[in-house]
Amino acid sequence: MPNIQEVTHPLVQHHLVRLRDKSTPPAEFRALINRLATVLAYEVTSDLELRPQDVTTPICKTTGHVLNQRIGIVPILRAGLGMVDPVLHLIPNAEVWHLGLYRDEETALPVEYYSKIPSTFPLDVGLILDPMLATGGSALAALKALQDRGVKRMKLASIIASQDGIDNVNKEFPDTQIYVCAIDPELNSAKFIVPGLGDAGDRIFNT
């Protein structure tokens, strides 16, 4: 699957161990999410479009390159909020849209409870953020929301994904680029990723 990129950098592998550890306290867990999201953001943005721009240095005039696309960050509430700041540090002028989804514990299907996604002037690139890609239900709902609003190019960044989640997203949105730090083999009966790290939102926000 050419649109799936698993980032296997040694620093990613190192930080994943503490992220998975059930004894890791919330403050450290948030810091680890931040570090891993920074590495993911570097990879996700590697093919963004540039345009030339003249600049005058203390020595002379020269020409550099700047981003040439309207980029929107779409965290899936609430866990996706933990990945926003690292991306904004790299792309300070990016727009931040919000999509609130929770998983129905009976059906494991996503339920939308909040949406702040403009329906006019679609983005050039929409970057969906969610630490966990489990069944893929929330990601599919987010991708459909962006597609309905005319976003042509969509990317998805998750810290840990299940193979099932990747397969489900790739089946429905094969052109979406997916970036993850780890691909875990399966889901348990409660649709949690195995081995995973538990509930990312609960661990980020200490609830």
Q: Spell out a b/e string for 37-64, using b for 16 or more CB atoms within 10 Å of the CB, else e.
A: bbbbbebbbeeeeeeeeeeeeeeeeeee
Residues 5, 98, 159: CA angle, nearest 5 degrees? 25
Report residue 166's pLDDT band, with 50, 70 and 90 as the boundaries.
Answer: very high
**If you average pLDDT over every residue of the chain, what do you get?**
91
Q: What pLDDT shows up at residue 113?
A: 76
Cβ atoms of 44 and 71 closer than 8 Å: no
199 catalytic? Reply is yes
Catalytic residue among 103, 124, 149, 167: 103
Report residue 108's pLDDT band, with 50, 70 and 90 as the boundaries.
Answer: low
18 catalytic? Reply is no
Catalytic residue among 47, 85, 104, 107: 107
Tens of pLDDT along 111-162? 777 777 777 777 899 999 999 999 999 999 999 989 988 888 999 999 999 9
107 catalytic? Reply is yes
Catalytic residue among 24, 30, 38, 199: 199
Tens of pLDDT along 16-70? 999 999 999 999 999 999 999 999 999 999 999 999 999 999 999 999 999 999 9
Whole-number percent of the chain with pLDDT over 90: 72
164 catalytic? Reply is no
Q: Which tokens in the block code for residue 138?
A: 């929330």
Instruction: Name the CA radius of gyration of the chain, rounded.
Output: 17
Domains of the chain and CATH, by start: 4-49+68-205 (3.40.50.2020)
